[in-house]
Structure 1
Amino acid sequence: MHILHLDSSVLGAASVSRQLSAGIVARYHAQYPDLTIVSRDLASDPALHLSGAHMAAFQGAVVDDATMMADLIKGNSYMDELFAADVIVIGAPMYNLSIPTSLKAWIDRIAIAGKTFQYTATGPEGLLKNKRAFIASARGGVYSAGSPAAALEHQESYLIGLLAFLGITDVTVVRAEGIAFGPEAKEAAVSQALKDIAAIPA
């Protein structure tokens, strides 16, 4: 059993999404003591955002910049870690109705045609099979289905769609939302999310 644990919140120890993602990993560790965990803090050690230099390198251009070379190596490591993982745990707070840019930068390095998906005569096909994913979601407001702001939600829905595009359809969302509505609302939301984590089956 191999777990890839990603965090993207900039709040460090104060982050709810980090608390939830750590809880999910701990839940798995309790059930599979011999599992291997690879952790990436995308907020403190982000990849560079895609640029023309990246695209040129992908097409075979010579890279003579040390920073770019290190970043390309990091992107290759992202891909290796993803392929090795049986379970992907993604800590994903909502920032401005979507995901943190560091998480998007990670996605841009692993969503690659011919590697994690391919185009076919009937449309795109995901190449990542037999993997499970968890999204540890934290939101200041309430954007879940049925809420007045549901149409503005481009965080969980984006990640679920992206994972499905890559072939990962076994996705569980653990959510704490409304956490900006005061201490009591935050405590209730986090408490419920932790109960959901405790109920995750083996």
Structure 2
Amino acid sequence: MITSQQAQDIVLNHCHSTPYAEQFVIYFCELSPKQDFWIIRCNSEGYVIYNQLEHCYIGVNAYLVDTFTGKINIVSSGESVEDFLQEIYDTQTACGQFYLLRPTFSKENKISLLHLKQWIGCGYIDAINLLTINKNWFTGKRRYLQHIQILLDKRDIKTEIILADKIDNIVVINNGTWFEEDIKKELRTVIGNGI
């Protein structure tokens, strides 16, 4: 296992390889909860030691150094370390497959069918197609699908997230699909695909 000092040296070597003529210093280093990454934060010496705001570098939240390989992953300032780590673990779990969100009920469940129809604001034929022909609704990062699943569950629209080998013609969800109206719009896209 790579030690804390080795991980810090890896990050400092990476930072000093940039075209900036700054000295960088580490101000945070700890193991991830699974002890598979060193979470390291650093910035310019002028900022960390002397509190000179004009020397503060932005854009990087943390560096994750794999404790076995020494490979660096960079977490951008707009992301949390926890989310980044979870995406790494989700990718490992998927083993090359794709996460897919789909309904857990069939067209025979009239109450759930009615909830779906009313919530989307579509006709019965389109709602039935979402449960038969177009039953694989979305693909994307697992945490994005989990967010959608929680919102749909609040509307009594039960779904599941599975792993699949193929995702042909399935709507890809990104971090822009965050609110109920966005989800409705994407489900209407699924209806429009007519797969």
Q: Which has the higher contact order (CA 8 A, sep 6+)?
A: 1
Q: TM-score, normalised by structure 2?
A: 0.21
Larger Rg: 2
Q: TM-score, normalised by structure 1?
A: 0.21
